[in-house]
Amino acid sequence: AQSVTQLDSQVPVFEEAPVELRCNYSSSVSVYLFWYVQYPNQGLQLLLKYLSGSTLVKGINGFEAEFNKSQTSFHLRKPSVHISDTAEYFCAVSPGFQKLVFGTGTRLLVSP
Amino acid sequence: SAVISQKPSRDICQRGTSLTIQCQVDSQVTMMFWYRQQPGQSLTLIATANQGSEATYESGFVIDKFPISRPNLTFSTLTVSNMSPEDSSIYLCSVSPQGATGELFFGEGSRLTVL
């Protein structure tokens, strides 16, 4: 079975500062990895995904994530955040059968 | 990608009643899923909606409580039966369109409050 751990429930940051949201996963098989964002009162939107190949994955809105197999991590980063990035971010893992297992989420709070 | 419409977007329900949530997709999809997001928590998979056969439920979820229909490749319903306040959640429909590489697309969710 797969599991996902998001180490930080909430990350406060000032506008234009860099941010890293941490995600670790556990799986006995190769997996696909995803980051989703949920803005208030909305559904989930895919930010980026790792399937194979390059371990550095670039997504929408200036976000990127790096897959580290030895550390079983898939941390999300952005070099300079905006107020509009305030949202809930979910890391998810899939063994390839479209059934995603989600982490508990990290609330990113960007203040001026 | 896929455009997913859910109805209702929100509702307030009385204890003991049932509510059916509809999910309509703008294209035919093989895989449809129903997730639950309880207040302040992550998403939990309820079941996989199978076209033309019974849904496949995850551990902790049963058909009597969450009956699901999937009459065709673009539509599904989830019923929350005999509701209690513990059923207050956001219920999300998600799909994996043909050609998608592993990711799911989500509707905007149906926010249910049970009094």
Q: Rounded distance, CA A63 to CA A19, Å? A: 10
Neighbouring CB atoms inside 10 A of A110's CB total 19
Strand partners of residue A106: A89
Contact between chains at A43 and B103 (C-beta distance less than 8 A):
no
CB contact A45 to B (< 8 Å): yes
Identity of residue B104: L
Average pLDDT, stretch B86-113? Answer: 88
Q: pLDDT (tens digit, 9 = 90+) per residue, B3-57?
A: 899 999 999 999 999 999 999 999 998 889 999 999 888 899 999 998 888 899 9
Q: Which of A6, A34, A94, A100 to mutate to test the interface with B (most CBs of B within 10 A)?
A: A100
- A54-75 confidence digits (pLDDT tens): 889 999 999 999 999 899 999 9
The gap between the terminal CA atoms of chain B, to the nearest Å, is 36
Is A90's Cβ below 8 Å from some Cβ in B? Answer: yes
User: pLDDT: is B5 or B102 the higher one?
Assistant: B5
- A104 with B31: Cβ contact below 8 A: no
Asked if A46 and B105 come within 8 Å (Cβ–Cβ), the reply is yes
Q: Which amino acid, residue B77?
A: T
